[in-house]
Amino acid sequence: MGKVIVVTSGKGGVGKTTSTANLGTALALLGKSVVVVDADVGLRNLDIVMGLESRIVYTSMDVIEKQCELAKALVRDRRVDGLMLLAASQKNNKDDIQPEQMKAICDKLRTTHDFVLVDSPAGIERGFSNASAGADEAIVVTTPDVSAIRDADRIIGLLQNAQIEPINLVLNRFSAQLVGNGSMMDQADVLDILNIDLIGVVPEDSGVITSTNRGIPLVYEDASPGAQAYMRIARRLTGQRIPIPDLEDKGLFSNIVKWFTRNR
């Protein structure tokens, strides 16, 4: 039996879709069977980031309307074994789908795959309830700025009310340089406010933009810092215990301290 993980944030543009595409691909590269589900009905773009937009025939809407079987609506990613995409309908809107219908899809996918990653739209309304309806766990993505953090906090409250657990945090677009000169919040400040487990820190990486435009998830670029960060998060999702490297670079000692704190 697999896990359904909703990737969400509250605020738009913080890296939910980027994270879903990269973590989905990374998990498949680690040998897991994965479906990435676009829950952003009407504003889909996970297919573009995955480079699969030209191959979409059916969407989750077709499955709900019984126009096709769920298995047939899954688009196989040919670059890696075990990775599938379930696209969202572009011509419908979020109110055309009920949370129970999304849950039914997730419940089915859970029986056939190790990981089901659901890319949530921004906001706290229907799109969010649809995306989280079938979730066992959540990944909350935030950037280190006050408005994204406040929205993440709001979403964490809603996820907790829905008894979705654990909720893990991905801190995205982190820049050690900006923290160093005092213009960005540091990791400790973010964690102090949100008070959930950190599963990884993804640095600001210009490779993300080029990879998005080319439709090739960053994790294929082994050397890029963003790719390495996503690979580490994927390993943690599979249960491996690996330390979170200190991007703030305070040296070995604080790395060790963090490693111990995380594995307490």
Partner 1 sequence: MANPIVTLRAYRDGLHLIIKPRLSIAEVEEAIQQEIARMNRPLVGTSVQIVLKSPVLEEEEISLLRSKLQEDYDLTVRGIDVVDDESVSPPIAAAPTTHAISQTTDVRAPRNSELSRIIPHTIRSGQTEEFPQGSLIIYGDVNSGSEVKAGGDIVVLGTLRGNAYAGMNGRLSAVIIAMDFAPLQLQIGNYTSRSPASQESRGYPEIARIGAEDVIIVEKFVKF
Ligand X SMILES: Nc1ncnc2c1ncn2[C@@H]1O[C@H](COP(=O)(O)OP(=O)(O)O)[C@@H](O)[C@H]1O
Contact between 79 and partner 1 by CB under 8 A: the answer reads no
Measure the CA–CA gap between 115 and 149, rounded to whole angstroms: 26
Cα distances (angstroms) measured from residue 147 to each of 19, 190, 197:
19, 12, 20
Measure the CA–CA gap between 101 and 133, rounded to whole angstroms: 9
In DSSP terms, 203 is beta-bridged to 174
Contact between 145 and ligand X by CB under 6 A: the answer reads no
Which tokens in the block code for residue 202? 């993804």
Residue 143 interacts with which of partner 1, ligand X, Mg ion, none, CB < 5 to 8 Å by class: none
Contact between 59 and ligand X by CB under 6 A: the answer reads no
How many chain residues are in contact with Mg ion, going by CB under 5 A? 2
For ligand X, the binding residue among 212, 228, 233, 237 (CB under 6 A) is: 212
Contact between 162 and partner 1 by CB under 8 A: the answer reads no
Residue 73: which H helix or E strand, with range? helix 70-73
Nearer to Mg ion among residue 42 and residue 243 (C-beta):
42
- Listing DSSP states for 131-178 in one string gives HHTT-SEEEEEE-SSHHHHHHHHHHHHHHHHTT---EEEEEEEE-HHH
Measure the CA–CA gap between 46 and 40, rounded to whole angstroms: 9
Contact between 165 and partner 1 by CB under 8 A: the answer reads no
For partner 1, the binding residue among 93, 177, 195, 213 (CB under 8 A) is: 195
Interacting residues with ligand X between 71 and 100 (CB under 6 A):
none
Contact between 164 and partner 1 by CB under 8 A: the answer reads no
Nearest approach in angstroms of CB 164 to ligand X is: 18
Contact between 90 and Mg ion by CB under 5 A: the answer reads no
Start-to-end CA span in the chain (Å) = 27
Measure the CA–CA gap between 37 and 39, rounded to whole angstroms: 6
For Mg ion, the binding residue among 5, 10, 11, 17 (CB under 5 A) is: 17
Interacting residue ranges for partner 1, rule: CB under 8 A: 124, 146, 150-151, 153-154, 156-158, 160, 192-193, 195
Interacting residue ranges for ligand X, rule: CB under 6 A: 9, 12-18, 122, 172-173, 202, 204-205, 208-209, 212, 226
